[in-house]
Amino acid sequence: MPFSTLGLSDPLLRAIADAGYTTPSPIQSQAIPAVLKGHDVLAAAQTGTGKTAGFTLPILHRLSQKSYSTNRPVRVLILTPTRELAAQIGESVSKYGAHLHPRLKSEVVFGGVKINPQMMRLRGGVDILVATPGRLLDLVNQNAVKLNNVETLILDEADRMLDMGFIRDIRKIIALLPKKRQNLLFSATFSEDIRKLTTGLLVNPVKIEVAPRNTASELVEQVAYLVNKAQKTEVLCHLIKQNNWQQVLVFTTTKHGANRLTEKLNKVDIKAAAIHGNKSQGARTSALTGFKAGEIRVLVATDVAARGIDINLLPHVVNFELPRAAEDYVHRIGRTGRAGEEGQAISLVSHDEYNALRLVEKLIKKEIKREQIAGFEASAVAPPVPAEPPRGPRPSRKPNQARKPGANQAARNKLKTANA
């Protein structure tokens, strides 16, 4: 079925052609007509399914068909969990709306950056606002934006927003919206909390469910390399160099682990940058831009930070550690094999992760092939973990006393090797 049968206007069809899309993805062919008709929608879909265009295109269509008042109150509000996702949705809105006349105004607001420039940008009014919940409430409290004209509310990655503790903010925001409005909710998973949220929110929603792209996709080759924990960094360097990978996304479970790995890669001249919640927005953006431009070879990310990273045709994703939640494995490998291209998802699995690997296989209902790398084979049993340095009570330091340079360095080095 071509896009032209879905009921979208010509300027939007031109933007779709510009983007190079020929056929709607399953979520798009179901969501676009439902949203155009003004229905509420409950969609089970994750990143990689084309869901962003699935809600952005019909929203742009509806807005552009109506006249607007000159003070341009927010008519469409899109809530998302992370800054990256917010920024990407903002880009999609601009991209798909490029040929509309008159142009619709959109803004993206998120926390972690100064609020004043955002307040200035909202002054002239905007038709579409993409926001993370906390910052939006701050802006409302400072009278920088009003939400009493919102016609459509979109909750994107609702499960993530709840995971990140945004439920109270979301409820506060919903209370500020007009009662009569269209609601669209997108979520990869449906916990009890999501169900509770949808019950009060959605009215006779059209329910849409699409297969997570990569669990069904044969385009992603999945392999687990069995290795010893202490050798993971070495193995990663070996794989990157041996295969001459130029663009690799590597997942770690902790921010600290991401920093440590990034440092080690840079030390052996593999240009790497980390992207996680403790990094400033500027640092995240420059890491992502550098990675997309090919200046940074390895982007090391934690799960939350990686949500919403949209990089087309990413050839290699490496799980340096398996995720704590098996579902995150699916999100992670969803970064490769996109838009019909083949991709490779590699997991470095140490002895303590064998169970996690089995849980992932149970979730994706597929066996992941296990391989050994010559020269880095996993030993039959887990090698003993070097003893941790003694953790006695910290020697008390007077408040203004400087830390002795090199203090405890030996102990830290030892710990580093143990945790490498």
Where on the chain is the footprint of ligand AMP (CB under 6 A)? 21, 24-25, 28, 47-53, 310, 312, 338-339
Q: Which helix (H) or strand (E) holds 38?
A: none
Kindly state the smallest distance separating residue 25's Cβ from ligand AMP, in Å: 5
Nearest C-alpha neighbor of 261 from the set 234, 284, 296: 234
Is the CB of 29 or the CB of 231 nearer to ligand AMP? 29
Nearest C-alpha neighbor of 198 from the set 42, 81, 78: 42
Is the CB of 312 or the CB of 400 nearer to ligand AMP? 312
Is the CB of 16 or the CB of 272 nearer to ligand AMP? 16
Cα(385)–Cα(201) distance, integer angstroms: 51
Assess contact for 106 and 161: CB atoms under 8 A. no
Between the two ends of the chain, the Cα-to-Cα distance in Å is 51
Is the CB of 57 or the CB of 162 nearer to ligand AMP? 57
Q: Where are the beta strands (DSSP E) in 89-204?
A: 106-109, 128-131, 152-155, 182-187
Longest Cα–Cα distance of the chain, Å, equals 73
Cα(381)–Cα(114) distance, integer angstroms: 52
Kindly state the smallest distance separating residue 340's Cβ from ligand AMP, in Å: 7
Kindly state the smallest distance separating residue 51's Cβ from ligand AMP, in Å: 5
Cα(74)–Cα(72) distance, integer angstroms: 6
Kindly state the smallest distance separating residue 52's Cβ from ligand AMP, in Å: 3
Kindly state the smallest distance separating residue 41's Cβ from ligand AMP, in Å: 15
Q: Which helix (H) or strand (E) holds 39?
A: none
Kindly state the smallest distance separating residue 43's Cβ from ligand AMP, in Å: 11
Is the CB of 174 or the CB of 208 nearer to ligand AMP? 208
Kindly state the smallest distance separating residue 17's Cβ from ligand AMP, in Å: 11
Is the CB of 148 or the CB of 312 nearer to ligand AMP? 312
Is the CB of 314 or the CB of 348 nearer to ligand AMP? 314
Nearest C-alpha neighbor of 44 from the set 173, 177, 215, 168: 215
Assess contact for 86 and 161: CB atoms under 8 A. no
